[in-house]
Structure 1
Amino acid sequence: MNRKWIANTTMLLALTVALAGTASAATKTGETSDQVTYSNNGKTVVPSTPAVNMDGSLYLPVRALGEAMGKYVDWDEFRSSVSLTDKPTLTNKYELKAPDLAAGIKMGVGSSLTHLPGDPDNVFYTTADRGPNGQPTVNGVTVRTFPLPNYTPTIYKISVSNGEINILDKFPLKLTGNDPVTGTPLITGLPNIKGRDEVPFDAKGEKQLAYDPYGLDIEGLAYNQKDDTFWISDEYGPSIVHVKRDGTIIERIVPKGWSALAATPLVPTREMLPEVYNKLRQNRGAEAVGITPDGKYMFMAMQNALRNPDKSMDNSRQVRIIKFDLTNLKPVAEFTYLLEDAKQFKDLAQGDIVVSDMVVVNENTLLIDERDKFSGDKAQLKRIYAIDLSTSTNVLGKYDTAQAAGKTLESMTIQDLKTNGILPAKKRTILDAVEFKFPYEKIEGVTLVNGDTLVITNDNDFGIDSTSPENGTLLWTFKLPTKLQ
């Protein structure tokens, strides 16, 4: 019997047996006690693991006890701590009903979601991403196609009522001059840099399209009430884009060295991201962005681990979250977010677990959307975590190369992190959408209203290459048991 396991469960078990259980001790020390009964709020519950009799005392794993009581249970092996969190209540479901953009191309929003202070509780802002795109195989080669190459990435104002998502207004992203591809102020969702980004093709995958240095693959959306502007995280750069409320692009935060690769005279580029961010995996760039309510700090999270030092890091669990001072746009901290271990799931590669959105509750508390690539009954990981950065290690500039500790941040094992005293963000589950049977793969929009209403939505990728014939856009709301503030 593992004595550490016993020590971590003793206090909870003593309380449970006294208040909710009728103990019938096993005949021998170490035997399981299947006759013990449990109740939670007067209702009978059955733990997934039976109690064990050790020297006349009953012991039950914390996870089994917590789950039996209807709580989420999270174990932090870096801090030797257990978090028990009450589950939320699903309150409403809404669906977008809008005309298709073209034959076989659905309308969609939901690659981000944010609620603005002072707006009605049912009004939100959201985006679609870079526009309809697919990955067909042409002559034995998989290519990236753009069926609507002049599609303009757009911010949408939406409301929800009577089971429907309604589009109230839209703000296409635009320049103060003309985009080289469209010949108008409107930008495209096409890649930026030849030889670095994916090669764009037409709908048939036969004709190569032009690159657009101003093109954006927009993912996260954050609002700064101090100056009434939006910030958008972009997968291409990876970059963070500053935008006026009307959609006019103001500036773009990019990694060091990026500006030499693309000419963007209409949009100033601020090389504030560390150079290591140039080592992103294609189509797995800056996925989430959020701003503290006081407008002092901005956070950005990557979708996956950087390829640092190489693509073998696609199976790394370490994702970077960077923090900026919004007064000068300089990074002031960087934290490690540890993705769930793919080994605990079925037929899931580590590289297919991703971060998809973020809500900044305050300087130390963030909500992180973490998910797998599956949908429907195959889905295993669709969780929103509240993370605590107050005790997390600031790794800014420390593990970008192998010179420090002999390894990069991404190449470290769990033991390496411990040896180097690196504490990742502390995680606790506040929503497991798989339990609520959310049907679609890409929960990519998350926001919080009044501190206790959690709102999620999905990006349907315009129905391109969809394995689900419905694959619409849904928005669900949940009431949290306690406020986050």
Structure 2
Amino acid sequence: MRQTSIRVGAIALALTVAATPAAATSHPDVRQPTLTGFASLPAQTYVPASEPSGAALGTAPINGVQPPFADQPVQGFSGILRAGAGTYEVLSDNGYGTKANSADFALRVQRIAPVFRTGAVDVLGGFNLTDPDGKVPFPLVRPDRVLTGQDFDVESIVRAVDGTYWFGDEFGPFLLHTDRAGRLLSAPVPLPDVRAPENPYLAGGTPNLPSSKGYEGMATSPDGRYLYPLLEGTVTGDPAGSLRLYEFDTRAGAYTGQRWVYRLDAPNHAIGDAIAVDANRFLIIERDGGQGDAALVKKIYLADRRDKDGDGALDKTLLVDLLNIANPRRLGGFGEVFRFPFVTIEDVLLLDERTIAVLNDNNYPSSSGRTPGQPDNNEFITIRLPQSLHPDPRALR
């Protein structure tokens, strides 16, 4: 069944709940993390006049939605950047969850604008990731060299000082560098001595990283020189639940050899995103695999690589419990305690020294954390913190 595509930049996408009465810019004084903005992009939103997608999902309904789709869904937000004037760039990941079922999903950066006054999200366009100059040395799915979810699983995004982009991939894991239009500038940069099962160079060898557990988060230093990509999974031989945080020098185009450890609260947890607050501190999303009422751990930590307690891992301070956010104004039509109960929460952004934005990856059409049996929308929330994070001003660019 063909779904109606949304005309880009022209139609506000209506909520299924009451309109949100207040925006994220009101800056209230709060004593606990408090919801200040809520907007929602309907799950069944597609890139207009794009290409069919989801053929490998079969034809049986998933959460009431029947694949395949006549167009590319606007979904899977796994990284976020400012784009100016209240707009943002969000990264759609590999598509439908695996290398095998995502060959017809074009990797894409979407441009969106939340409208907190109404609770809607406008889709303003975007661009696909491509390799017109043949930088990728292994075969791609499409002869036109538009990158797909079978080629890479991009999960993190950084904009460099010169306006180019760096992406963290899970399949290699690789780092990808593109120009402003998403065209690859160089060959994918592999991570030395670490390979996932999907790595195209594995050649029958033994992987030492679990499937799709490569670069889930990636921060950049305030001066833009270094990238800090964070694995989602534990490398074979490392202690259970320990994740490697690497340092990559963008000037040299190489890893520096420095690395740190982020220790999960439990080995079965995963990280969802990592961004820089300053030269030493990061915001890191940690989550369990539950959704809806089964969601127990959805947290944002402030992590410090200076390891002041000397335990060999980043120091962690709980910043926000995403299942227990104060909502005194009942934004979005929810109660006084707001829950963000999604299986994958993969976007965090500093808006100012006391306000963060958080988005979910809705895994369309598979996740149903908000309403059982219905595909999740992409929700965009803002949270006011009780105290300033005192970020480096360059982290707010």
The reply to whether TM is greater than 0.5 is yes
Q: Is the 8 A contact 1:237 1:255 kept in 2?
A: yes
Which residue does the alignment assign to 1:391? 307
CA RMSD of aligned residues (A): 2.7
Whole-angstrom CA distance in 2 between matches of 1:478 and 1:257: 39
Letter of the structure 2 residue corresponding to residue 279 of structure 1 = N
Counterpart in the other structure of 1:445: 347
Q: Does 1:128 align with 2:66?
A: no
Matched, 1:482 2:387: yes
Contact 1:114 1:446 in 2 (8 A): no
Match of 2:45 among 99, 122, 145: 99
The 1-side partners of 2:386 and 2:355 are apart by 9
Say which of 270, 288, 293 aligns to 1:377: 293
The superposition leaves residues 340-373 of structure 1 with CA deviations (integer Å, 9 ceiling, x where unpaired) of 03xxxxxxxx33x001101112110110010011
Amino acid in the other structure paired with 1:368? I
% identity of equivalent residues: 24
> Cα distance, 1:180 vs. partner?
4.1
Deviation at 1:145, TM superposition (A): 4.4
Within 2, Cα distance between the matches of 1:440 and 1:258? Answer: 29
CA distance in 2 between partners of 1:422 and 1:439 (Å):
31
Residue 133 of structure 1: CA displacement? 4.2
Q: What is residue 464 of structure 1 aligned with on the other side? A: 366
More helix by share: 1
Q: Structure 2 matches for 1:57-68, cutoff 5 A?
A: none
Q: CA offset at residue 463 of structure 1? A: 1.2
1:220 and 2:192 are equivalent in the alignment: no
Distance 1:317 1:180 in 2: 33
User: Secondary structure at 2:285's aligned position in 1?
Assistant: strand
Q: In 2, are the aligned partners of 1:357 and 1:445 still within 8 Å (CA)?
A: yes
Measured against aligned partners, the alpha-carbon deviations of 1:401-456 in whole angstroms (never above 9, x if no partner) come to xxxxxxxxxxxxxxxxx9xx652111111111011311322111111112322111
CA distance in 2: counterparts of 1:477 and 1:307, whole angstroms = 37
- In structure 1, distance between residues paired with 2:193 and 2:237: 16
Query: Shift of the alpha carbon at 1:278?
Result: 5.7
Q: Supply the distance in 2 between the matched residues of 1:258 and 1:292 (Cα, whole angstroms).
A: 23
Within the candidate set 212, 236, 246, 1:322 is matched to 246
- Which residue pairs with 2:5 in the alignment? none
Distance in 2, matches of 1:335 and 1:222, equals 20
Q: Is the counterpart of residue 156 in structure 1 residue 105 in structure 2?
A: no
Q: How does 1:236-315 map to 2 (within 5 A)?
A: 236-251=171-186, 252-256=188-192, 262=200, 279-308=208-237
| Aligned: 1:337 with 2:249 | no
TM-score (norm 2): 0.71
Structure 1 residues 86 and 220: alpha-carbon distance in aligned structure 2, compared to 1, 3 A threshold? farther
Q: 1:238–1:278: 8 Å Cα contact kept in structure 2?
A: no
Greater radius of gyration (CA): 1
Find the residue that maps to 1:241 and give its secondary structure: strand
Partners of 1:235 and 1:442 lie apart in 2 by: 15
Residues 463 and 472 of structure 1 are in contact (CA less than 8 Å); yes or no, is this contact kept in structure 2?
no
Alignment partner of 2:364: what SS?
helix
Alignment of 1:43-192 (within 5 A): 87-97=32-42, 98-99=44-45, 103-104=66-67, 107-116=74-83, 119-120=84-85, 122-133=86-97, 145-146=100-101, 149-161=103-115, 162-177=118-133, 180-190=140-150
Are the counterparts in 1 of residues 35 and 384 from structure 2 also a CA contact under 8 Å? yes
- Which of these residues, 321, 326, 342, is aligned with residue 432 of structure 1? 321
Deviations 1:75-116 (A, max 9, x none): xxxxxxxxxx96321101111135356644664141111225
Measure, in 1, the Cα distance between the counterparts of 2:382 and 2:154.
23
Given residue 454 of structure 1, which amino acid in structure 2 is its aligned partner?
I
Highest RCO, 1 vs 2 (Cα 8 Å, sep ≥ 6) = 2
Give, as a single letter, the amino acid of the residue that structure 1 aligns with 2:78.
Answer: S
Cα shift at 1:330: 3.2
Q: CA deviation at 1:216?
A: 1.1
Gaps of 5+ in 2: 1-29, 47-52, 55-65, 326-338, 392-397
Per the alignment, residue 355 of structure 1 pairs with 271
Match of 1:45 in 2: none
**Do 2:366 and 2:375's aligned partners in 1 also have CA atoms closer than 8 Å?**
no
One-letter code of the match for 1:238?
P
Answer whether contact 2:367 2:376 (CA < 8 A) is retained: no
Q: Distance in 2 between matches of 1:452 and 1:168?
A: 27
Alpha-carbon distance between aligned partners in 2 of 1:439 and 1:302, rounded to the nearest angstrom:
23
Letter matched to residue 423 of structure 1: G
**SS in structure 2 of the partner of residue 461 of structure 1:** coil
**Separation of aligned partners in 2, 1:363 and 1:326:** 16
The 1-side partners of 2:215 and 2:382 are apart by 25
Runs of 4+ with >6 A deviation:
none
Tell me: CA distance 1:286–1:165, structure 2 relative to 1, closer, same or farther (3 Å): same
1:93 corresponds to which letter in structure 2?
F
Residue type of the alignment partner of 2:90: T
Q: CA deviation at 1:257?
A: 6.5
Distance change in 2, residues 1:186/1:230 (3 Å): same
Contact (CA 8 Å) 1:127, 1:221: kept in 2 or not? yes
Superposition pairs for residues 1-80 of structure 1, below 5 Å? none
C-alpha contact 2:110 2:123 (8 A) present in aligned 1: yes
Q: Is the 8 A contact 2:132 2:144 kept in 1?
A: no
Secondary structure of 2:284's counterpart equals strand
Instruction: Give the C-alpha shift of residue 150 in structure 1.
Output: 2.4
> What CA distance in whole angstroms lies between the structure 1 residues aligned with 2:211 and 2:96?
17
Structure 2 match to 1:473: 378
8 Å CA contact 1:255, 1:278 repeated in 2: no
Letter in structure 2 aligned against 1:469: Q
